[in-house]
Amino acid sequence: KGLKKYFPVKGGVFGRKVGEVKAVDDISFSVKEGEILGLVGESGCGKSTTGKSILRLSEPTAGEVKFEDQEITSLSGEEMRKLRRHMQIIFQDPYASLNPRHTVEKIVGEPLLVHGMNSTEDRKERVRELLEVVGLSSYHASRYPHQFSGGQRQRIGIARALANNPKLIICDEPVSALDVSVQAQILNLMSDLRDQFNLTYVFIAHDLSVVKHISDRVGVMYLGRMAELAGKNELYNHPKHPYTQALLSAVPEPDPDYQRDRIILKGDVPSPSEPPSGCAFHTRCPYVMDICREVRPEFREVETDHYVACHLYQDAVHS
Ligand code: SF4
Ligand code: MG
């Protein structure tokens, strides 16, 4: 709630703070147990920072993060460490996040050791079990990361994340670095694992087509703010925010009758260190009005469970 993450920008000979980047600028949302919330936006929109702030891998500048009704931003390091077994993260590049000098057994077993499984035999047994859960085999345990394909490496990353039976997993573009054919396999695996273990995901992606099948609800971010948030079908079939409409128009449809007219946005995403006044999207919006340059639109529920931050909808408040 009201989550903010600002990074100082330093400059000059003395390295003084000369400004700040509002990577995440006052966003609020909730994720239900067992749900997959897709979080989408172009690079630099703050979606990864949001994911890291939820886990306090990046300390929020302001705002609240509640996990199962517990406010966690004020917890001590030790309390947070205990809670982390329930909250995991999977990264985009499994190769960079797996130690190349460690065997799979050591990599997947490490979080078990950290959380107190001291017996080597117990860890071995659990690692074997985890490898099978993610579609690998126990004979992979003695191998090293470079001996695997990209998709297999992501399976290892997932096995490691699952080691301590987490409840919430932040998935930070887990398939973006993979070939399209492999993407589908990993998405299916993650979807099955959600069902099997009643997991909750915040699933970060830079394009709407990746999260289309896996998500229950989808949030669209732009320049550190939430532009729109709704149930998946509602968002894909009735997008309200002009930015969501533009992103969706770029997603190819299998049936050409359903293909939307492509909306080409003018210009680039402005720098997050100098976000536009008013609505952050006003420099590129095809529907921009005078008020958009002055007043930041509120993020409001304009229909049941459909939230949007845009002046085009500010009168249509759902009651
Ligand atoms: Fe466009 Fe204005 Fe809506 Fe922003 S508030 S998305 S500029 S119409
Ligand atoms: Mg990112």
Residue 319: predicted pLDDT:
43
Ligand 1 pocket at CB < 6 A: 241-242, 279, 281-282, 285, 287-289, 292, 297, 310-312
Over residues 84-124, the pLDDT tens digits come to 999 999 998 777 889 999 999 999 999 999 999 999 999 99
Distance 129 CA to ligand 2 centre (A): 31
Structural domains of the chain, with CATH: 3-313 (3.40.50.300)
Q: Is 199 helix (H, G, I), strand (E, B) or coil?
A: coil
Distance 54 CA to ligand 1 centre (A): 28
Q: CB within 5 A of ion ligand 2: which residues?
A: 48
Write the DSSP assignment of 208-272 as a string of letters.
Answer: HHHHHHH-SEEEEEETTEEEEEEEHHHHHHS--SHHHHHHHHTSPPSSGGGPPPP-PPPS-PPPT
Supply the DSSP symbol for 3.
E
Interface ipTM > 0.90: yes
Portion of the chain with pLDDT greater than 90, in percent: 78
